[in-house]
A and B are shown apart, each in its own frame.
Chain A
Amino acid sequence: QKEVEQDPGPLSVPEGAIVSLNCTYSNSAFQYFMWYRQYSRKGPELLMYTYSSGNKEDGRFTAQVDKSSKYISLFIRDSQPSDSATYLCAMSRSGGSYIPTFGRGTSLIVHP
């Protein structure tokens, strides 16, 4: 079993839909959770960064962490065609090692 599991998709939704992207993980030592957006042929850009459990909201994006279930989610409200990209989750342990472990990424397509 991989440390971080993420469905590669593609996930295709109509414009305006609420999108839910998810990752599961097996290492209970993970404390920091990140979501990145990556457009084709570009480097990933950080969208959300959360510590431990709970929710964090930034505009149309909400990140949710459920450590008891080892499950994290990214919700996108009022999705736009410009949201079409690959979304990667990442997580890392607290303490001396901050090297993140990445999921494979989920390809999202928002069609007009």
Chain B
Amino acid sequence: SQTIHQWPATLVQPVGSPLSLECTVEGTSNPNLYWYRQAAGRGLQLLFYSVGIGQISSEVPQNLSASRPQDRQFILSSKKLLLSDSGFYLCAWGTPSTFGSGTRLTVV
């Protein structure tokens, strides 16, 4: 069966520090992968999606970047976090999408 792993579950980082969130999928090959951000009281904002290794599409210009070094691995990064980067980050795969458990990021 297909499973999706996302970590860490919570993260508190100072402004200006780097970020790396990782997502891996098991039980499927060449999945479409997505990174979303969900701010409090707001809907899901699509940040990046990928249809294959090394293929990344950015939906919102911002302080974040994404990479897909392996077929079932999707990484969200930042070189310098901003306060506005705080939120709930979700990785997902496929259509209809299966979501990971999310990472709650607080930038202080």
Interchain pairs with CB closer than 8 A, number: 46
Q: Say what secondary structure dominates the interface of chain A.
A: loop
Judge whether B96 and A90 touch: CB under 8 Å: yes
> How long is the Cα–Cα vector from A43 to B90 in the complex, in angstroms?
7
Would you call B78 an interface residue if the criterion is a C-beta within 8 Å of the partner chain's C-beta atoms? Answer: no
Q: Of B6, B43, B46, B102, which one neighbours A105 at CB under 8 angstroms? A: B43
Judge whether A42 and B43 touch: CB under 8 Å: no
CB distance from A26 to the nearest CB of B (A): 15
Instruction: Report the stretch among A53-61, A62-70, A76-84, A92-100 that lies at the interface.
Output: A92-100
Closest to B32 in A: A98
Judge whether B43 and A43 touch: CB under 8 Å: no
Would you call A88 an interface residue if the criterion is a C-beta within 8 Å of the partner chain's C-beta atoms? Answer: yes
